[in-house]
Amino acid sequence: MALQWCRRPQAALAEIARVLHHGGRAELAIMVDGSFAELRRASRAAGISLHINELFTASDWLNALSQTGLNYGAHELVEYSDEFDGLWQLLRSIKGVGAGSSAQGAKRQGLTRKALNQLEAAMPRNEQGQVTNTYTVLHLTLEKPL
């Protein structure tokens, strides 16, 4: 999953259209807006400015796709949730998918220990005491016409 970090969905999809052979298919899974909802809500509740890269909406991707000449049939939005023992583990997971890096290459100042503690306190916990992170993923099946 790397397409979600591109700056222009139309350019990324145009490149996929360019490299696909006629009759070729591509299966995509793209993280879209709505991901990291629990973390975003907790940061607002705690008054913490959290720097997570913004994601395009599913509609943005589908609109960009309409300009490529690729056919798409099957597409769906699916939410995937992961549970973590604490905020630190959740943040490491997010860093692992690239959401902690700036898509624009800008350096951002990290959070203080106090801010991290406030954020962790604002995170909702399940019955097992774990925090949840949800990813919203657009699944697309694309085909280049013959």
For residue range 50-102, what is the model confidence (pLDDT) as tens digits?
878 889 999 999 999 999 999 998 799 999 999 999 999 999 988 776 655 44
CA 140 to chain centre: 15
Measured from the Cβ of residue 29, the count of other Cβ atoms closer than 10 Å reads 14
Least-confidence region, from 12-16, 26-30, 93-97, 137-141:
93-97
- Say whether 3 sits in a helix, a strand or coil: helix
- Tell me what pLDDT residue 8 has: 93
Query: Residue 1's pLDDT band (boundaries 50, 70, 90)?
Result: low
Kind of pairing between the strands at 25-36 and 71-84: unpaired
Computed over every residue of the chain, the mean pLDDT equals 89
Nearest 5°: phi and psi at 34?
110, -20
Q: How far apart are CA 17 and CA 26, in angstroms?
A: 9
- List the end-to-end C-alpha distance of the chain, in Å, as a whole number: 27
